[in-house]
Amino acid sequence: MSLPVVSPSGLRLSLAGHLEELRRRLGISLAALLLAVGLCLTQAERLIAWLAAPVQAWLPYFAFFTPVEPLLAYMKVSGLAGIVAAMPVILWQLWAFIRSGLTPRERSAGLLFVWWGSLQFAAGAAFAYYVLLPASLRLLLRIGEHYLRPMISIDRYLSFVTGLLFWCGLLFELPVLLVVLARIGVVSPEWLRQQRPYAMLILVILAALVTPTTDPVNLCLVAVPLALLYEASIWLTRATMRLPAPPDG
């Protein structure tokens, strides 16, 4: 059987079409990002007040040590909030660009990662803000409270809070990652059960790296939910394996 012959002009046309589509997808993503950053810039003061709410009981005002630090704080918050707000559009444009080259099985796994992954990241960030951040600040700001007074710059505080929200959101992607890997046949529920002791050790280490303090209470606040997420991942992968896989054709 003879192989199909593709002319150089046809190859150039196909490549030009892909590049044009990539340019269009990037343009839509950039426009969504700029629009989201612009809108968040108008709400920067409210966003900073929301991020500062957990520390207001101990620190009613922030300090700044350079004339441009307040402006940089507004721009940092607006940029990060804009990225979060535009992320659904960016992820969808990325998905729309690559899905044509994937098999049906890979498409189902990728779409699951896009939507469920976004929800899990939001859940992790919410956990960090409403649970971990108040507990950590309560401990940290009471150290030496009889002879020390906190004076925290707005830039340092925003870096601390946004870093904590980001890493907790990333750790909460664990079930999504394991279910996607199971869906495409890389891992199985039996393998995950066998690796449970090693997984728990790794999760405790990750919790220690993310937790701002070294006390066991805050460590457990992160490690226990991660362990529960791992156990839920085993159950979810077992349920996923029972679902019919899309045909690869």
pLDDT of residue 149: 82
Determine the pLDDT at residue 245: 52
**Model pLDDT, residue 127:** 94
Note the pLDDT tens digit of each residue in 125-169: 999 999 999 988 888 888 877 887 888 899 999 999 998 998 998
- DSSP-derived letter for residue 150 is -
Tell me, what's the pLDDT at 247?
A: 52
Neighbours of 233 (CB within 10 A): 23
Residue 6 has what pLDDT?
45
pLDDT score of 243: 56
- Answer yes or no: are the C-beta atoms of 116 and 176 closer than 8 Å: yes
Q: How many CA atoms lie within 13 A of 36 on its CB side?
A: 19
d(CA 195, CA 176): 17
Residues (pLDDT < 50) of the chain are 1-13, 248-249
